[in-house]
Structure 1
Amino acid sequence: METRAAESPDGLQYSAEGSGYDEVYGDQSQIQGHWQYLLDGLKTLGVQGIRERQLKAERILRDDGATYNSGSLSATTWQLDPVPALISSEEWAAIEAGLQERAELLDLVLKDVYGKRDLIRLGILPPELLYSHGGFLRACDGLALPGEHQLVMHASDMVRDHTGAIQVIGDRTQAPSGAGYALENRTVMSRVLPSLFRDSHVHRLSLFFQSLRLKLNSLASSITNEQPRIVILTPGSYNETYFEHTYLANYLGFPLVQGSDLRVSKGYLWMKSLGGLERVDVVLRRVDDFYCDPVELKSDSRLGVPGLLEVVRAGRVIVANPMGSGFLENPALLRYMPQIASHFLGREPQLASVKTYWCGDPQDLTYVIENIRRLVIKSCFRKPSEQSVFGASLDDNQCQELIGKIRLDPLKFVAQEYIRPSTTPSWKDSQLLPRPSILRGYSVATSSSYNVMPGGLTRVGDQADSLNLSNLRGAISKDTWILASEPEKQVSLMEQRPQPAPAKSQMQPRTSFPCRVVENLYWMGRYAVRAESALRLLRTVFVQLNSTYHMPAETRQVLLQTVTQLTTTYPGFVLSAESASLQPEAELLSVVLDGKRTGSVTANLNSLLECSDQVREMLSADTQRVINDLRDELSGLADSLKQGLTAAPEEALDPLVTTLLALSGLWQESMVRGLGWRFIDMGLRVEKALQGLSLIRSSLVAVLPEYQQLQVLESILLSSEVLITFRRRDHSGSDMAQGLELLLHDNSNPRSVFYQVEQLRRHLGELPSAVHGSGLAEEDRYMLEASSAIQLSSLDALVAEDEKTKTRAGLDQLLARLQYLLQETSNQISTKYFDQIKVHQQLVRTAWDEEL
């Protein structure tokens, strides 16, 4: 077996074994010229230097929140190889021309199959190929986007064969994924290898995304003369490429919406925002075709918008790529691409497709069955749960089972000749090793043709014999460098035509995000405070239980019951107070660690993280880093507490408290004082007030002997971070009165209940006005009453003891009323400003829903 190797003095070398095509050596024994500079640079860095760059790349990806959900319960950090894939500018010119032509061809096919269907009439495509495919949507027949092109974005998966020739193995046309990851890869690599990147004169990716933005704006201008509203429609945070959706939304400057954020009304599509309904003109969708409209397509879909297709049909909104374009992803089309190109262009396509056989053709079916061992079997209609089957990897029983499935429904299967991908250097186990690679290239429509991304998303196998190079199967991504001989010219794609003066209605800033976003921001604030309050109290209880001085049973019981009442983890220490307080360890650890227990620290933090995932596009880079820190601390919490209460458990909680404080600090110091910040802070204020009231009511309403009462009071003050202030103040009255003043009345204490109420009143006055009758709105009435009740209350009356009940009845009544007022205020905020999602469901299900 031939071995081609490039050695260096420090032992770093790259060897390509075998006779296949290698990106570095081609089919020769010498390094190709455009690889020499990079390999020399890697040799200079050495093993340790590359390892450090890899760790730096991993940190950047983690801090950026770059994730990929491969089907596990939690998304994993995006995997990036620190060694880029290189293509010379001369070779790329041919690939670029081929991709442009392929996008044009598929655009013509899309126009034809939903138009005149000449390809069927002339016998170029078998009718069964079209009408049996789940991606052909009859409801979309006759729909057309304005302008020359129907296909706005297109992606092709390509591999090199043993001669080095590029061949297409598949197309993506519904919602081509990966372009955002390619941009993230570029951002990371330009920071990890800055001098190598700069000196290599790598073609920039930004022009591609500028072309996309201009194309969407031009589509919007065809249906509106006003400032257009363009949104990106995502399936949600559980989608495997959700990071890309948020990344593109931030990069392009478009709101990220889910199906529930949109509604059809009066013949138009609207986004539900705080400012009311805002008309949407263009939707860049990341949702597959048949999920987009539950009325006319898949009836049980929760990802789309009921009635969307009717608005598209009326020409009042544009969806890109158009619904129905999923048919172009049928791999059986590759078999007919030469005939299609001959029909439309009069010649063979510049980019060849891999040899493909459609089992719906009797001759092809016979060939596939006879040669199944050397073929790759694919479903004509791509489903997330289905992967390509490599015949060579099957045993006899599996092979016969697959043949049986093909014979049973041959129209649904296609087979392709297996092409051994070219190998490229990949950094693994501190070595440069050859790994099989695949390249996904991207095209976007322009006013005249298609603009191709200079590069794309390269994926490499984790092992030398990896067959399925998909992210779901553990493939690793690479940045793809298109190398120029000189620095690239700076070209502006800004529109040159004069912009009309905005109408008066457009002079006011428009709310740029849907109601769902502010709702999640509001609950982020609430969950953060819930978790922090619970952690602070638990830290205090741990310290008190493990202290050297004697703790009376009354004090111990009150503190433990306060834990249950503050966290609402009933029955806890309330139902069996005496027995639980003797052995509290298991219950306290459950309050911290049990994620399935409502009110536990872990449950609240998980809810906080879920809310942050829903609004990732609204979070700054620093905020995302702190949230990642919080996620890491939470994942290691169980190990930190495995020794129980005997090993200073409060120290295990300290990092979580510190991280939550950092998050709160970022919200207060780094967020623009817009609606997003206002709703986060309102959530914080509502929950701080409720937590403060619960803390006081649970611990200080019951009357205890003087010594035990002081112990409980100081524990509560310590948990609220005002114990030092309490001790330094001159006590003109009782300790209980002074403590209550700090916790309840003191407007200079940012943790007092009164401080939260006053902040809430200010926020409510700044919110978009809601429709109500004359006088104050209900929430304003509630907060005015709460503020007045606190200010009019007398400390002496609050601390007065009821001899019959052995409680402070006046304090209990005030706290109960304040809790009610705050809860009703929160309900009013939810009713007026958050989206009350209505579930739409067809009364009659279509039979083909189950097949999809």
Structure 2
Amino acid sequence: MNQSQSINQTPVGTPAGPLEYPSSPGVLDETRGADGALKPGWDYLLDSIGNLGAEVMRQREQKARRILRDDGASYNIYGKPGSASNSWELDPVPHVISSEDWSGIETGLVERSELFNLILRDLYGPRDLIRHGALPPEALYSHGGFLRACQGMQMPGEHELILHAVDMVRQADGTMCILSDRTQVPSGAGYVLENRTVMSRVFPSLYRDSHVHRIANFYQRLRLKLTSLAPSGDIPRIALLTPGAHNETYFEHAYLANYMGFSLVQSGDLVVRNGFLWMKSLDGLKRVEVLLRRVDDEFCDPVELRPDSQLGVPGLLEIVRNGRLVVANPLGSGVLENAILLKYLPKIATQLLGRELRLATVKTFWAGDDADFEHITRDFDNLIIKRAWRAAGQASVYGGDLDDNQKQALLADIHRHRYHYVAQPRLAKPCIPAFNGTALEPRANLLRTFSVATDSSYTVLPGGLTRIATSTEGQFISMQEGSPSKDTWITASEPERVLQADLDEDQPRSLPETQADSLPSRVVENLYWMGRYAERAEASMRLLRTVFVLLNGEEPISPEAQRILLQTVSQATYTLPGFTAATPEQLANPEPELLQIVRDGKRSGSVRSTIESMLRAAEESKESLSTDTIRVINDLRDALDNLDADLVGGLASAPEEALDPLVTALAGLSGLTQESMIRSVGWRFMDMGKRIERSLQTIATVKGLLSSVGGEMDQSVLLTAMLTSMEALMTYRRRGRERHGMELGLELVLLDRSNPRSLIFQLERLEEHLQELPTSDPAAGELDEEARALLEATSTLKLTRLPHLLQTSGSTRPEVNALMTQLAGLLREFSRFISDKHFDHRSGPQQLFTTIRGVR
């Protein structure tokens, strides 16, 4: 039995016949050599996939999508209607490159990284390239990526450029041609790791038998390099600076931070004090010595660079200049993305390296050069026109795709701003096989590779991020246009030899503190509100389900009981005034308002709005959540998307069933946080949020349902509603053999320590958390304000006598109303004191100019 047969046993019931990848005469196809035969690596892969068949491939593709969804892998496509967070697209057929082929590519990539490192050091140093005529001064000084404020700043060691990415395509002669360089905030390496993780799970045997080169060593090299850059020489705190959850590649930021053990921070998490950079955590300021940034150069410091930026840290550039912080890639490295450099790269390479580069670079014409300008004007229809400096909203265009008016307008702008434009020929991109759901078809591809500085040179990631066109005819490839990705396999004829040093580097390094012990206070605050919103949504839906069942029940309820139930819904969900100001007609026909409370996302307090708030808080603290937690959150998002369809028919179609998937998912989330989450400070604040919110929801429900006195039947309905919504009805019935009534119901809900939903249970858990907070001092004589508020609430509740509480005065129970009002006030004070002490110390960057409109 050969290799392909051993892994490709087609299940019974799948369509007969192999899945073939036909040759396409006249099409540049990367899978075949000049003789038309499949290249090494491709032959085994396509034979194996062919034997699987279309049905099995569909199953594997669906499995890959499930894994990506469970991991929360996303890529935000700006301006695209629909969900703000789009699923990452991975084609199940990998891109294969043989080890022999890769060896030459790797050598050329290392050489290019070395050259760009020398260019960066020269442009912010002596500028010999300009003095010796290798680069016109206009090419540098007209470029927006050149930051004069970074003049003379140097990284420790031999390398200025830490991370380098290039986009390249294979040419007809089999060699690679580089289209562009990414040096400012090179993105994609995290998606490479995610793609590899997924593919190794979806095709484990195929992956193993193909002898694919490991990529984990690249990320360990990056971590070691950043650690070695620490100014103090000690094991540093390394942070990854992200623009935030709305950035297109935020998933990658959180994923890499988790994988490499870095703190994921936003601008508000950092502050410059006493000449150093500090991260704000609950237990004080923590010094950051190395910052891996994903924020563009000009946004990093609103004091010296772009004054309207709210993504950077005021004073950041000054401490870098003083050698007290290392930023990777260094500020100002965006100058290397200057497309004008590509025109002069042969001359630059000769001057700095003494030879031309091994890997070709796409021919580039600069409108600032008179001869090139004439060529651009003359051959406009056959060229790709682009800005020398990439910025948001400035995509490259193909001259032949423009109409006459667009062409004249662009030519006029090139005339006015000649230094700002370059042009390049349109290179044909080679095709590789992609799975379209039923067959394999050729798609154009573009490969992004990565290199990282080491002590002596650069290490290249053995693989990369392959992107493909969305159709067989397309040549335009862009993630913002929805282009799928592929895992890139560098294959060998025999298994890769793994050295002990590589295995050692895969082991986690000891750090002075774990990341869980020093989370940014922003993350902890979001975990706190995630707990509150999750509990608020669950309690609201439990109450709503109870009300739906009672309204649709066989036994009619009185108008007075219905009024109390509906008003309690408005009070407990904070959707005021709602039923508290409803007319008799609205109370008699509650369906429109109840459905609004469930599904109106624009209404504060509605089920949809509350869950969406919880999802936003979860997204902001994503790096602290486990894979299972993210999976449950994705289930919540899916159930929320289906809510409107499930509510068709209104109250007449059992709307409580539409809420069941949401309640189940929230209950699963609660179970995960209790049973699978490390008892770190993040968990404590999440659980505190949950306990505070459950207490407030209990208080609101008791106050709403039991403050009024009605007839015996009404009291029974309202008591049943309270016990049902709080999951205590079965216990009440079991204990009711000895005694029953309102007193037993209140005891279960308020004072029963064995009931995990009782009010006393929540308050006692809050007391335990309070003792464990980082700033608490049990030995201190005087109580803090939050401790006072919580102690008063707990003592007041414990001193309560239920018979006294249930005394009536006319049609009300004033003691119930007074106690619940007092307890709610104390808990809100407690929450405010906690927020003031642990969260509100942050002072965000002051806006020095106008509001930022967008960031690339």
Q: Taking structure 2 as the reference length, what is the TM-score of the superposition?
A: 0.95
Correspondence for 1:421 = 429
Mapped contact 1:20–1:162 kept (Cα < 8 A)? no
- Aligned equivalents of 1:245 and 1:585: distance in 2? 44
Correspondence for 1:281 = 289
Distance 1:469 1:554, change over 3 A: same
Matches within 5 A, 1:114-193: 114-193=124-203
- Aligned equivalents of 1:667 and 1:562: distance in 2? 29
Determine whether 1:457 maps to 2:441.
Answer: no
Determine whether 1:240 maps to 2:248.
Answer: yes
Q: CA offsets per residue over residues 402-454 of structure 1, 9 Å max, x none?
A: 21221121111111111000110011141110110000010000000000000
Correspondence for 2:803 = 796
- Aligned equivalents of 1:775 and 1:732: distance in 2? 45
Please point out which of 788, 803, 816 is paired with 1:811. 816
Q: Which range is displaced more, 660-669 or 325-334? A: 325-334
Q: Which range is displaced more, 33-42 or 728-737? A: 728-737
Please point out which of 712, 716, 732 is paired with 1:726. 732
Determine whether 1:651 maps to 2:636.
Answer: no
- Aligned equivalents of 1:529 and 1:245: distance in 2? 28
Mapped contact 2:770–2:776 kept (Cα < 8 A)? no
Distance 1:653 1:510, change over 3 A: closer
Correspondence for 1:70 = 77
- Aligned equivalents of 2:661 and 2:117: distance in 1? 55
Please point out which of 383, 400, 410 is paired with 1:402. 410
3-state SS of the aligned residue for 2:432? strand
Mapped contact 1:592–1:601 kept (Cα < 8 A)? yes
- Aligned equivalents of 1:42 and 1:555: distance in 2? 65
Correspondence for 2:212 = 202
- Aligned equivalents of 1:507 and 1:241: distance in 2? 27
Determine whether 1:825 maps to 2:841.
Answer: no
Q: CA offsets per residue over residues 229-288 of structure 1, 9 Å max, x none?
A: 111111100000000001101110111011110000000000001110000000000111
Q: CA offsets per residue over residues 286-331 of structure 1, 9 Å max, x none?
A: 1110110111111111111110001101100100000000010111
Determine whether 1:360 maps to 2:365.
Answer: no
- Aligned equivalents of 2:567 and 2:850: distance in 1? 52
Determine whether 1:629 maps to 2:635.
Answer: yes
Correspondence for 2:314 = 306
Q: What letter corresponds to residue 643 of structure 1 in structure 2?
A: G
Mapped contact 2:521–2:838 kept (Cα < 8 A)? yes
- Aligned equivalents of 1:292 and 1:481: distance in 2? 36
Distance 1:851 1:36, change over 3 A: closer
Q: What letter corresponds to residue 821 of structure 1 in structure 2?
A: L
- Aligned equivalents of 1:393 and 1:16: distance in 2? 29
- Aligned equivalents of 1:392 and 1:18: distance in 2? 25
* Identical residues among aligned pairs (%): 52
3-state SS of the aligned residue for 2:440? strand
Shift of 1:731: 6.5
Matches within 5 A, 1:558-597: 558-597=564-603
Q: CA offsets per residue over residues 645-692 of structure 1, 9 Å max, x none?
A: 111111111110000000000000001111111111101100000110
Please point out which of 24, 37, 43 is paired with 1:30. 37
Mapped contact 1:540–1:718 kept (Cα < 8 A)? yes
Mapped contact 1:299–1:849 kept (Cα < 8 A)? no
- Aligned equivalents of 2:534 and 2:236: distance in 1? 36
- Aligned equivalents of 1:493 and 1:358: distance in 2? 47
Q: What letter corresponds to residue 736 of structure 2 in structure 1?
A: D
Q: What letter corresponds to residue 410 of structure 1 in structure 2?
A: R
Q: What letter corresponds to residue 48 of structure 1 in structure 2?
A: E
3-state SS of the aligned residue for 2:41? helix
3-state SS of the aligned residue for 1:68? coil
3-state SS of the aligned residue for 1:455? coil
Determine whether 1:525 maps to 2:525.
Answer: no
Correspondence for 2:8 = none
Unaligned runs of 5+ in 1: 1-7
3-state SS of the aligned residue for 1:76? coil
Please point out which of 597, 606, 609 is paired with 1:600. 606
3-state SS of the aligned residue for 1:67? coil
3-state SS of the aligned residue for 2:272? strand
- Aligned equivalents of 2:408 and 2:593: distance in 1? 56
Q: What letter corresponds to residue 28 of structure 1 in structure 2?
A: D
Mapped contact 2:217–2:502 kept (Cα < 8 A)? no
Q: CA offsets per residue over residues 622-662 of structure 1, 9 Å max, x none?
A: 11100000000000101100221111111111110000000
Shift of 1:836: 3.6
Matches within 5 A, 1:366-445: 366-445=374-453
- Aligned equivalents of 1:832 and 1:139: distance in 2? 37
Unaligned runs of 5+ in 2: 1-14
Please point out which of 776, 781, 784 is paired with 2:791. 784
Please point out which of 762, 765, 772 is paired with 1:759. 765
Q: What letter corresponds to residue 566 of structure 2 in structure 1?
A: L
Shift of 1:726: 1.1
Determine whether 1:342 maps to 2:347.
Answer: no
Q: What letter corresponds to residue 689 of structure 2 in structure 1?
A: G
- Aligned equivalents of 1:851 and 1:739: distance in 2? 56
Correspondence for 1:95 = 105
Q: What letter corresponds to residue 594 of structure 1 in structure 2?
A: D
Shift of 1:587: 0.6
Determine whether 1:58 maps to 2:65.
Answer: yes
Aligned residue pair count: 836
- Aligned equivalents of 2:311 and 2:108: distance in 1? 35
Shift of 1:813: 1.1
Q: CA offsets per residue over residues 573-604 of structure 1, 9 Å max, x none?
A: 11114221111111111000001100000001
- Aligned equivalents of 2:786 and 2:405: distance in 1? 69
Mapped contact 2:163–2:452 kept (Cα < 8 A)? yes
Q: What letter corresponds to residue 551 of structure 2 in structure 1?
A: L
Distance 1:309 1:700, change over 3 A: same
- Aligned equivalents of 1:108 and 1:208: distance in 2? 22
Correspondence for 1:745 = 751
Distance 1:749 1:212, change over 3 A: same
- Aligned equivalents of 1:127 and 1:569: distance in 2? 63
Q: CA offsets per residue over residues 763-784 of structure 1, 9 Å max, x none?
A: 0001112589741111111111
Correspondence for 1:680 = 686
Q: What letter corresponds to residue 53 of structure 1 in structure 2?
A: R
Mapped contact 1:285–1:321 kept (Cα < 8 A)? yes
Mapped contact 1:249–1:255 kept (Cα < 8 A)? yes
Q: Which range is displaced more, 530-539 or 829-838? A: 829-838
Shift of 1:849: 11
Mapped contact 1:65–1:625 kept (Cα < 8 A)? yes
Mapped contact 2:732–2:740 kept (Cα < 8 A)? no
Q: CA offsets per residue over residues 186-234 of structure 1, 9 Å max, x none?
A: 11111111111101100010010010011011111xx114431111111
Distance 1:360 1:678, change over 3 A: same
Q: What letter corresponds to residue 796 of structure 1 in structure 2?
A: P
Q: What letter corresponds to residue 262 of structure 1 in structure 2?
A: L
Correspondence for 1:4 = none
- Aligned equivalents of 2:588 and 2:842: distance in 1? 47
Please point out which of 326, 341, 347 is paired with 1:333. 341
Please point out which of 543, 548, 552 is paired with 2:554. 548
Distance 1:125 1:851, change over 3 A: farther
Mapped contact 1:210–1:493 kept (Cα < 8 A)? no
3-state SS of the aligned residue for 2:745? helix
Q: What letter corresponds to residue 720 of structure 1 in structure 2?
A: M
Mapped contact 1:375–1:392 kept (Cα < 8 A)? yes
Shift of 1:353: 0.4
- Aligned equivalents of 1:601 and 1:133: distance in 2? 50
Please point out which of 263, 266, 270 is paired with 2:274. 266
Mapped contact 2:709–2:715 kept (Cα < 8 A)? yes
Q: What letter corresponds to residue 755 of structure 2 in structure 1?
A: N
Q: What letter corresponds to residue 721 of structure 1 in structure 2?
A: E
Mapped contact 1:207–1:493 kept (Cα < 8 A)? no
Mapped contact 1:229–1:281 kept (Cα < 8 A)? yes
Q: What letter corresponds to residue 817 of structure 1 in structure 2?
A: Q
Please point out which of 841, 846, 849 is paired with 1:841. 846
Q: Which range is displaced more, 767-776 or 366-375? A: 767-776
